[in-house]
Structure 1
Amino acid sequence: MDAPSSSPALHTGLATPRTFLALALVSALLGSTTPSPLYGLYQSLWGFPSVTLSALYALYAFGVLIALACCGRLSDRLPDRRLIILPALGMVALGALLFAFADDLSQLFLGRLLAGLGTGALTGSANAALMDFDALDLRKRAASIATLAFTGGAALGPVLSSTALYLEFWPRSSPFLFNVALALLTGLGLLLGRWPRQPAMPALQRAASGRESPLRALRPIRQPFAMLCAALVLAWSVGSLFVALGPTLLASTLPSGSLAAGGLVVAGFQLSAGASQFLCRQLQARPAIRLGSILLAVSWCGCVASLVYGRGWSFCLFTLLAGTGYGASFVGAVGRLGAIAPAEHRGALNSLLYVAGYLGSALCILGIGAVVDAIGMLPAMTVLAGAVVLAAVALVRSSRFD
Structure 2
Amino acid sequence: MLSTRLGHAHLGDRGSFFAAASVAALALWASGSPSIVYPVYTSDWGLTASLVTIVFAVYPISLVVTLVVFGSLSDYIGRRATLLIGVALIGAGVLLFAVAPNVVWLMLGRVLQGAGVGFAMGAASAAMVEYNTGSPGRASSVNTAATALGLALATIVGGGLVEYAPFPLHLSYWVLFGIAAVVFVAVWWMPRGLTGAPPRDDAPATRWRPQRVAVPRGLRVVFAVSALAISAGYAMGALLLSLGSQIAQDLIKTDNALVAGVALSISAIVIGVVAILARSLAPRTSIAVGGFSIAAGLGLLVLSAALESLPVFVAASVVAGAGYGWLFLGGLGLISRHAPVHHRASTLSAVYLVAYLAQGVIAVLIGQSATALGLEPALDIWAPVIAAIGLAASGAAIATSIGLRRRQAEAG
Bin the TM-score by the shorter chain: 0.7 to 0.9
* Alpha-carbon separation, structure 1, partners of 2:318 and 2:295: 13
Which residue of the partner structure matches residue 361 of structure 2?
A: 363
Partner residue, 2:45: 46
C-alpha change, 1:48 and 1:166, in structure 2 (3 Å) is: closer
Of 164, 168, 175, which aligns to 1:167? 164
Paired residue for 1:334?
A: 332
Which one of 177, 180, 198 corresponds to residue 177 of structure 2? 180
Note if contact 1:248-1:259 (Cα within 8 Å) is conserved in structure 2: no
Q: Residues 15-72 of structure 1, C-alpha deviation per residue, up to 9 Å, x if partnerless? A: 3333332333322222111111100110111112211111111111112222222222
**How far apart, in 2, do the equivalents of 1:36 and 1:89 lie?**
20
1:98 and 1:108 in contact (8 A); partners too: yes
C-alpha separation in 1, matches of 2:331 and 2:156: 28
| CA distance, structure 2, for counterparts of residue 327 and residue 170 of structure 1 | 33
Q: Offset at 1:102?
A: 0.9
What is residue 55 of structure 2 aligned with on the other side? 56
Q: Which moved more, 1:225-234 or 1:362-371?
A: 225-234
Match of 2:400, as an amino acid? R
Q: Given the superposition, is the C-alpha separation of residues 312 and 214 from structure 1 closer, same or farther in structure 2, using an over 3 Å criterion?
A: same
2: CA distance, partners of 1:37 / 1:360: 22
Mapping of residues 291-302 of structure 1, within 5 Å: 291-302=289-300
- Unpaired runs of 5+ residues, structure 1, are 1-9
2:222 aligned counterpart, secondary structure = helix
CA 1:139/1:157 → structure 2, altered by over 3 Å: closer, same or farther? same
- Is the CA contact 2:159–2:259 (under 8 Å) kept in the aligned structure 1? yes
Q: Which amino acid aligns with 2:305?
A: L
C-alpha RMSD over aligned residues: 2.7
**Separation of aligned partners in 1, 2:107 and 2:199:** 41
Aligned pairs for 1:236-275 within 5 A: 236-275=234-273
1:217/1:300 CA distance change after superposition, 3 Å: closer
Displacement of 1:351 in angstroms is 0.5
Question: How far apart are residue 374 of structure 1 and its match?
Answer: 1.6
Between the aligned residues of both structures, percent identity stands at 25
Q: 1:375 to 1:197 in 2, by over 3 A?
A: closer
CA drift of 1:197 comes to: 6.7
Map 1:387-398 to 2 at 5 A.
Answer: 387-398=385-396
Contact kept? 2:271, 2:324, Cα under 8 Å = yes
Q: Distance in 2 between matches of 1:103 and 1:366?
A: 23
Mapped to 1, the partners of 2:354 and 2:268 lie a distance apart of: 20
- Answering whether residue 75 of structure 2 is matched by residue 76 of structure 1, we say yes
Taking the aligned partners of 1:83 and 1:209, their CA distance within structure 2 comes to 15
* Offset of residue 296 of structure 1: 1.0
Contact preservation (8 Å) 1:246, 1:263: no
Q: Deviations 1:51-99 (Å, cap 9, x if unpaired)?
A: 1111111111112222222222121112x32221112211111111111
Alignment correspondent of 1:351: 349
Q: Deviations over 1:95-124 (max 9, x none)?
A: 111111111000011011111111121111
**Mapped contact 2:230–2:331 kept (Cα < 8 A):** yes
Does the CA contact (< 8 Å) of 1:253 and 1:312 recur in 2? no
In terms of fraction of residues, the more helix-rich structure is 1
Corresponding residue of 1:231: 229
Aligned to 2:6: none
For residues 128-169 of structure 1, the C-alpha deviation after alignment (integer angstroms, 9 at most, x for no partner) is: 1222223xx576543343233212212111111111122133
Distance 2:215 2:198 in 1: 20
Q: State how far apart, in whole Å, the 1-side matches of 2:356 and 2:15 are.
A: 30
Q: Secondary structure at the match of 2:217?
A: helix
Moved more, 14-23 or 285-294: 14-23
The aligned counterpart of 1:20 is: 19
**Alignment correspondent of 2:152:** 155
Q: Which moved more, 1:138-147 or 1:353-362?
A: 138-147
| Runs (5+) with no aligned partner, structure 2 | 1-8, 405-412
| Inter-CA distance 209–228: structure 2 relative to 1 (3 Å threshold) | farther
The one of 130, 142, 162 aligned to 1:145: 142
Partner in structure 1 of residue 301 of structure 2? 303
Match of 1:4 in 2: none
Whole-angstrom CA distance in 1 between matches of 2:162 and 2:215: 49
